[in-house]
Amino acid sequence: MSLQSEAENRIDEEIVTDAVLEAALKSFRLSVHAWSEAAYQGPRAALALHPRRSWRLAAGWALGLTLLAGSVSGGVYETHHRQELAKTAAARAAEQQRQASEERARQEEELLAKVDSDVARAVPSAMEPLAQLMAEDESR
Amino acid sequence: MAAGTTWEAMTKATAQEIAGDEFSTVVATHRPQIFRFLLSSTRDVDLAETLTQECFLKAHRNWASFRGESSAMTWLMRIAINLQKDHWRNRRLQFWRHTQTNAVELDEASEWLPSGESSAEQQLLARERVGQVWQAVEGLSERQRTVFLLRYVEEMELSEIARTTGLNEGTVKAHLSRAVGRVRTHLGGKR
């Protein structure tokens, strides 16, 4: 008997003498048969027997949607916040501008009043008695 | 002449009808086994279903050329093995593409238990053993896995495996010996 044929015969003999191996191979065969039978009767139903897969899928979708919703609402909030800040800044700038223009108008008014009073004093104070006399003469 | 043509046409139609009936019988008889082999090879129910359909489609196209030199089962199994090989080859070549697979995890595949195990302890032990065999099968080469599954799941004779795979019987035994050795190593580690 050749070496190869000795090795060939050894396979089956070893399996028979190895009870654990024999039992494992038998369980494996029956397990595959049971799985195949269930899957063959209704492939979709067989998949549904493993809820972990659908649970993982659902959890994945939920997480994805949550992240999407979070990033969208974050973006919306950020835009809204920026718009609010810009509005406040614009209102503050307008107020400052209004105050500055009011201050400028007040200063201009004061300056004009001063000029008016200066212009109103047409005769120097030292000449005032003479001017009075002239006014009296004219009235006569 | 006209009568001859009519007769020929009738004969052809009848032959096609007979062939159609024969093929339907072949499908009904062998489809579960082909599906089971593909399921154990891929651990993917959807893929196994698709490849089974492809297998019978291919068989139907070539049914006329089937001479009956081997059994229909051997012929169909050979088609299934080639389809499975092509599938994995394409997957390897297209590794940059979307390679999502629906293959179940080894633990999940081991959940299917033979109903004969009576006690909870026996069931646990059987589940553990089935898981260890799956782990060993995962580590086998494509050819070793095919030979192993044909022998210990489909319970085919070695000569039949040789005819199905196109290998000589000695090579089949050598592959089987290595595969069994690997299974034994996996089982030995947990004994």
Q: What is the pLDDT of residue A93?
A: 92
| Residue scoring higher pLDDT (B57 or B12) | B57
Does A20 sit within 8 Å of B36, measured CB to CB? Answer: no
Does A77 share its domain with A99? yes
Confidence of residue A51 (pLDDT cuts 50, 70, 90): very low
Residue A9: give the domain boundaries: 1-41
Q: CA nearest B151 in A: which residue?
A: A29
Tens digits of residue pLDDT in A106-135: 999 898 888 887 776 666 677 777 878 888
User: Does the pLDDT of residue B176 top 90, yes or no?
Assistant: yes
Does A69 share its domain with A25? no
Taking residues B75-96, what's their average pLDDT? 82
Note whether B110 contacts A: Cβ–Cβ < 8 A: yes
User: Does the pLDDT of residue B5 top 80, yes or no?
Assistant: no
Question: Considering the domain boundaries, does residue A140 fall inside one?
Answer: no
Cα torsion angle, B161, B167, B173, B179, sign: negative
Which of chain A's residues have a Cβ under 8 Å away from the Cβ of B110? 31
Question: Considering the domain boundaries, does residue A17 fall inside one?
Answer: yes
Does A30 sit within 8 Å of B114, measured CB to CB? Answer: yes
Does A33 share its domain with A69? no
Does A36 share its domain with A67? no
Q: What is the pLDDT of residue B34?
A: 95
Does A61 share its domain with A115? yes
Question: Considering the domain boundaries, does residue A48 fall inside one?
Answer: no
Question: Considering the domain boundaries, does residue A97 fall inside one?
Answer: yes
Does A63 share its domain with A103? yes
Which of chain B's residues have a Cβ under 8 Å away from the Cβ of A18? 184
pTM of the model: 0.60
Does A67 share its domain with A108? yes
B70: closest CA among B84, B61, B59?
B59
Does A30 share its domain with A60? no
Helix (H, G, I), strand (E, B) or coil at B66: coil
Q: CA nearest A10 in B: which residue?
A: B177
Question: Considering the domain boundaries, does residue A115 fall inside one?
Answer: yes
A32: closest CA among B151, B8, B161?
B151
In angstroms, the CA B180 to CA A21 distance is 9
Does A1 share its domain with A61? no
Tens digits of residue pLDDT in A58-94: 888 889 999 999 888 888 899 899 999 999 999 999 9
Does A79 share its domain with A104? yes
Question: Considering the domain boundaries, does residue A131 fall inside one?
Answer: no
User: What total of structural domains would you count in chain A?
Assistant: 2
Tens digits of residue pLDDT in B116-142: 656 778 888 888 889 999 999 999 999
Alpha-carbon separation of residue A105 from A53, A96, A102, A113, B20 (angstroms) = 77, 14, 5, 12, 105
In angstroms, the CA A126 to CA A103 distance is 37
Does A70 share its domain with A104? yes
Q: What is the pLDDT of residue B56?
A: 93
- Substitution target in A30, A31, A44 with the highest count of B β-carbons within 10 Å is A31
Contact at 8 Å (CB) between B136 and B185? yes
Question: Considering the domain boundaries, does residue A75 fall inside one?
Answer: yes
Does A36 share its domain with A58? no
Question: Considering the domain boundaries, does residue A135 fall inside one?
Answer: no
